Each structure stands twice: as C-alpha cells, then as structure tokens.
C-alpha cells in the first residue's frame, strides 16, 4: 500500500511505502549556508516526525548545493545534526536550484515504524 501525505497537484510532502518514508526536498531562506541548512534540517525533522520516523532511522540523504564552495558550511551544520552512529548513505552534488537565493536542498528517505 502507498500512503501519500500532504499531496498537491505537483507533489506529496511524504510518500510511505513498504516501511520507507520518502520526503520531498526541503529548501529554506537565509543569508548563509548555515542558516539555510539549519532551517532545511528543522523541516526534515518535522517531516520525519509526521511520517512516524526519526533521524536515527534515516536511510539515505541527497543534498544539492548551488555552489560546492558551501560544502564545508553545510557539513558544519549537518555533522552536528546527524546522531552519532546513525549517518545515512549520502550524496552531495552541485545543481542549479529552483530560485537564485536558494543555496541548498536536502532530500531524505527513512524507515518508519
């Protein structure tokens, strides 16, 4: 069974199937990469909770940066946010994001109970 949460004509905030919650990509406003990353991860936390999951159940994260020069700043926030021993498989690359002011987009898949 597939469960869709927060579905609009374009996308769902969360899609749950076979014990995995697929979260939509999260972006945020902010002046620095640290501010945007912090807000993105706050939104990921809220979606994980809504899906019945948590940071410790993350399976995979895909991160898009508008500029790879922000990699260290992203990791500064990311490393403090991920629970020790529960780091997901992760990919990080550079991409043109939806709006010019966006510096990061974070996509997470997680197991749920």
> Rounded distance, CA 113 to CA 95, Å?
33
Average pLDDT estimate for 19-27: 98
Q: What is the mean pLDDT of the chain?
A: 98
Q: For residue 36, what pLDDT band results from cuts at 50, 70 and 90?
A: very high
pLDDT attached to residue 2: 98
Q: Which domains does the chain have, with CATH numbers?
A: 2-111 (3.30.1330.40)
Question: CA of 67: how far to CAs of 30, 51, 71, 109, in Å?
Answer: 15, 30, 8, 23
């Amino acid at each position: 069974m597939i469960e869709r949460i927060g579905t609009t004509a374009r996308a769902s905030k969360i899609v749950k199937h076979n014990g995995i919650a697929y979260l939509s990509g999260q972006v945020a406003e902010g002046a620095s990469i640290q501010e945007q990353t912090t807000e993105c991860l706050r939104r990921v936390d809220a979606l994980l909770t809504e899906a019945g999951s948590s940071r410790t159940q993350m399976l995979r994260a895909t991160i898009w940066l508008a500029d790879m020069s922000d990699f260290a700043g992203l990791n500064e926030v990311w490393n403090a946010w991920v629970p020790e021993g529960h780091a997901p498989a992760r990919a990080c690359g550079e991409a043109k994001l939806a709006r010019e002011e966006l510096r990061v987009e974070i996509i997470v898949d997680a197991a749920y109970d």
